[in-house]
Structure 1
Amino acid sequence: MILSVDINQVIPNIRMRLPSLTRTEQSIAESFLKPHFLNRSVSINEVAERLGVSTALVVKVSKKLGFSGFKQLKDALNAHHDSDTYAPSEQLQLDDSCEQIVTKVLKNSINALQEILNFVDANMVSAAADAIIRAHHIELYAVGGSTIICEDFQHKLLRFGIRSNVPKDRHLMLMSASVLTDKDVVLVVSHSGQTVDLMDAVRLAKQSGATVISITNNYHAELSQLSNYPLYAPASPEPLLGKNGIARLVKLAMIDSLYATIASKIPQVVEDNLEKTTQAVALLHR
């Protein structure tokens, strides 16, 4: 699929295609993302020589990233880098001072949130919210660092009186998926969209007829293909913070957007249950 280029969506679109590339292709694409690596005057031959690859491979990667070819990719990246909204993220270095660390982390977080603001599909968020409201049972699947995102959503939903479940391991996910029906919803949080432990359960949930909502960074992952409502949360991994560093922040923002959308659709239910749940824990705040 060739991109209809929106300069505010160029980089997140590229990031979400990275997992579908080979290791060599990923290395090339990551070089493309470096600020002004592809300046306006650089030729495809110069880029190929700098990367130590063939021009044919440069073209192939450009097309895999959703562009008609190298020229459209280069023009789109330059337009993005020259835009008023562009603010490059900075990697943390081991010798950074505390002030540098704080500045970089917070600025990178702001950049990531700005990217998703330019990218999010509000209609898809609204449809996912409707599915959760209608659901008889809600299962929240994640592993590793993404689990806390599901636990946060579980806590938020309970404040509205909406019960959900976060299975803690692969066995529990498979068991829960096996007894779902077409009246149930599974929300899956996965940066890669291809974690084995998750995908076995997602396939089974789909076979059971459940509606699948996903939050992922990968356009081409099987998770995206199996999802009724795929929500994309593009974010660049930060080596020192790990793959889920800034990505976790972006996914939490997406969860908050989904949560607030649900609240807007059932205001009376929210008002009644927020009062009950707030009073229930009021004694803990003496």
Structure 2
Amino acid sequence: MEENIILQIKSKLKDLSKAEKKIGAYILDHAVDIVNDNTSELAKKIGVGPATIIRFCRSIGLSGFSQLKIRLYADASGVKEDLYTDITPDEDVSLLAEKLALRFNQSISQTANHLDRTSIEETSELIHKCTTIYVYGIGASHVVAEDFTQKFSRIGKTVVHTLDHHLLSSALISAGEQCMFVAISNSGETNEVNKLVEIANKKKMHTVGICQYENSTLTRLVEYPIIHHGGEAVMLRSAATTSLVAQLFTIDVLYYAYVNKHAKKILNMLKESKINIQTFFRKDN
């Protein structure tokens, strides 16, 4: 699944060197124009060496300048330039919707391309083996924790989830063997989340962390980190948007990876559950 190169550059700018940031900023301002330049011509316009252009391309995950030009031509040509700008006050609703759709697609593409298959498979196997799963997230990550709870509870897993971290810490302390704790935090620096992981570690529980950043505290604390991508790329933001989409997508991948391994049993379970619910909640009951 190919990412949008404009948003890909924007998301990586903060991690680049000073010279590479200069290149990135120039490309974002002249995305369509540079497709006709060669490496030397672009380097001269920006005031850097040709080798720095190549390093920039590799820093953003491309093989070289030719691939950058192809991606820029595909993503920037024929697309309204204002779709790549931040959301601003008093924008037309249709433009706002287009911007969000573009960013959501980019968020899912980034996560799909970089999600570690091994982490998903190992976590799926843990879910199968463990008798009880504890899950916690705060703020927008609480929504993701609820989604995890709803999905896995429906297929017969015992999931303990509460927003009260004091109550959950008590549950973790008294948890038995064959339990796991799933911690969800976009930043990986949420104090309540990390403290709960520390308790779970002391109880020698399996710990899984769903987070955006590889070098976060949460990633270092847990046994099995699952890194998603596609965080916020906009300045105007009153609540999590693309990061929430990336987290929910990650939970979906984990859920379907688990279902795929135990398809027959789970499909029968879901069918029986649906019949029982329809029977129980019939209007004539």
| Alignment check: 8 A CA contact 1:140 1:150 kept | yes
How many Å separate the matches in 1 of 2:266 and 2:130? Answer: 16
In the alignment, structure 2 segments of 5+ residues that lack a partner are 77-82
Q: Which residue of structure 2 aligns with residue 56 of structure 1?
A: none
User: Bigger CA drift: 99-108 or 267-276?
Assistant: 267-276
Q: Which residue of structure 2 aligns with residue 135 of structure 1?
A: 130
**SS of the counterpart of 1:94?**
coil
User: Bigger CA drift: 261-270 or 76-85?
Assistant: 76-85
Once the two structures are superposed, the pairs formed by residues 173-192 of structure 1 within 5 Å of their partners are 173-181=168-176, 183-192=178-187
TM-score by length of 1: 0.74
The alpha-carbon deviation at position 171 of structure 1 amounts to 0.7
| Alignment check: 8 A CA contact 2:9 2:24 kept | no
Q: Which residue of structure 1 aligns with residue 93 of structure 2?
A: 98
**SS of the counterpart of 1:106?**
helix
Letter in 2 for 1:274: L
| Alignment check: 8 A CA contact 2:132 2:157 kept | no
How many Å separate the matches in 2 of 1:230 and 1:139? Answer: 16
Relative to 1, partners in 2 of residues 1:243 and 1:35: Cα closer, same or farther, differing over 3 Å? Answer: farther
**Rg larger in 1 or in 2?**
2
User: Bigger CA drift: 229-238 or 34-43?
Assistant: 34-43
How many Å separate the matches in 2 of 1:163 and 1:42? Answer: 58
Aligned-residue CA RMSD in angstroms?
A: 3.6
Letter in 2 for 1:252: L
In the alignment, structure 1 segments of 5+ residues that lack a partner are 1-6, 48-68
1:240 correspondence with 2:236: yes
**SS of the counterpart of 1:281?**
helix
Of 57, 69, 78 in structure 2, the residue corresponding to residue 75 of structure 1 is 57
How many Å separate the matches in 2 of 1:228 and 1:236? Answer: 23
Letter in 2 for 1:220: N
Q: Which residue of structure 1 aligns with residue 255 of structure 2?
A: 259
Relative to 1, partners in 2 of residues 1:71 and 1:251: Cα closer, same or farther, differing over 3 Å? Answer: same
Deviations 1:138-174 (A, max 9, x none): 0111001110111111111122111201121221232
The alpha-carbon deviation at position 260 of structure 1 amounts to 0.6
State the identity %.
15
TM-score by length of 2: 0.74
Relative to 1, partners in 2 of residues 1:269 and 1:202: Cα closer, same or farther, differing over 3 Å? Answer: same
Q: Which residue of structure 2 aligns with residue 210 of structure 1?
A: 205
The alpha-carbon deviation at position 116 of structure 1 amounts to 1.4
How many Å separate the matches in 1 of 2:131 and 2:98? Answer: 45
**SS of the counterpart of 1:244?**
coil
